[in-house]
Amino acid sequence: MTDKLIITCAMTGAEVTKEGNPAVPYTVNEMVVSACEAVKAGASVLHIHARRDDGTPVQDAKRFAEILSAIRKECPKVILQVSTGGAVGMSRDERLGPLTLNPEMATLDCGTLNFGGDDIFVNTENDIIYFAKVMQAKQVAYELECFEKGHVDTVLRLVKKGIITQPLRFSFVLGVNGGMSGETRDLAFLKESIPDNATFSVAGVGRYEFSLAEQAILCGGHVRVGLEDNLYLEKGVLAKSNAELVHKVVEIASRLGREIATPEEARRILRMEIK
Ligand code: KMH
Ligand code: ZN
């Protein structure tokens, strides 16, 4: 039987700005409002980046602590997944800042890629191993962020070496300029490349967000949406909030007959230890 659908909301990221869409949250209060609305709409996981009030992306533990505890107060059950990707150009120790807070879940980025224009998002094999060891030592559940097929192959090689361990929770982030595109064949190829007992979620960047969501819902995957990945509800129409994007996925899932997972159900599906 297909598992219920886990919806992750990536609320703010490190690249998008209020100039692109005024609903992108920066302040702690904006994050809390956005988080609560997204959870109410059906998100069971929140993918968290921190921003200063002026929008500057940061990975420092103090800012993350403020955001996490403020969200936790209002949404006690949701899974909080901190980003260790941060923003392009940050050092690996800077990126690991939020792990000092022993979060329940974090992202582990599984390879380097050109990231839009001239930027390079660096995740060498040594970086991946370094991050994995820190996360395992702290018993943080990690999600394997793969922006293209080579990243999946890196994961599978590191699994064979015993460096990345079960359970494997993939997140395919598709449509970044420099990474893999988000056509139907791309997700089909990635899905058939991973072990049957692995879970996967799909984050379609920009115009791929909802077509990939629909494909993932149909083929037993999970879905990430949010302003980090896409600013539009539909072509030419800015999303008014993160919740509006989550709600659209809930509607697609309902049309396709897939139920939505609660945070507790999501923990079970993702085989997460309770911290
Ligand atoms: N901001 C991107 C460069 C993650 O959160 O782990 C990386 C990113 C991945 O967003
Ligand atoms: Zn992110």
Evaluate if residue 111 carries a pLDDT over 70.
Answer: yes
Q: Is residue 1 part of a domain?
A: no
Q: Is 80 helix (H, G, I), strand (E, B) or coil?
A: strand
Determine, yes or no, domain membership for 178. yes
In the predicted model, what is the mean pLDDT of residues 58-74? Answer: 98
For ligand 1, atom 4, the nearest C-alpha belongs to: 85
Residue 141 to residues 165, 202, 236, 238, Cα–Cα distance (Å): 10, 18, 37, 33
Q: Is the pLDDT of residue 174 over 80?
A: yes
- Taking the centre of ligand 2 as the mean of its atom positions, its distance from the CA of residue 85, in whole angstroms, is 6
Residue 253 lies in a domain: yes
Q: Which residues are CB-contacts of 237 (< 8 A; sequence separation ≥ 6)? A: none
Q: Domain limits at 75?
A: 7-269
Question: Pick the residue with more confidence: 180 or 275?
Answer: 180
Q: Count how many domains the chain has.
A: 1
**Mean pLDDT on 204-217:** 98
Residue 88 near ligand 1, beta carbon < 6 Å: yes
In a domain, 2, yes or no: no
**b (16+ CB within 10 A) / e for 56-74:** ebbbebebbeebbeebeee
Q: Does ligand 1 have an atom closer than 6 angstroms to the CB of 173?
A: no
Residue 139 has φ and ψ, to the nearest 5°, of: 55, 45
Answer yes or no: is 43 within a domain. Answer: yes
pLDDT at 212: 98
Does residue 233 lie within any of the structural domains? yes
Decide whether any atom of ligand 1 lies within 6 Å of the 85 Cβ: yes
Best residue among 56, 90, 128, 145 to mutate for probing ligand 1's pocket (most ligand atoms within 8 Å of CB) is 145
- Name the token pair of 150: 């080579």
pLDDT for 189 beyond 80: yes
* Site to substitute for ligand 1 among 109, 128, 148, most atoms within 8 A of C-beta: 109
Ligand 1: does its nearest atom lie under 6 Å from the Cβ of 26?
Answer: no
Question: The domain spanning residue 111 has which CATH number?
Answer: 3.20.20.70
State if residue 115 touches ligand 1 by the CB under 6 angstroms criterion. Answer: yes
pLDDT of 274 > 80? The answer is: no
Ligand 2 centroid to residue 268 C-alpha, Å: 23
pLDDT for res 163:
98
| Smallest CA separation from ligand 1 atom 6, residue | 85
CB 109 less than 6 A from any atom of ligand 1:
yes
Confidence of residue 1 (pLDDT cuts 50, 70, 90): confident
Interval 30-53 mean pLDDT: 98
Whether residue 274 is contained in a domain is answered as no
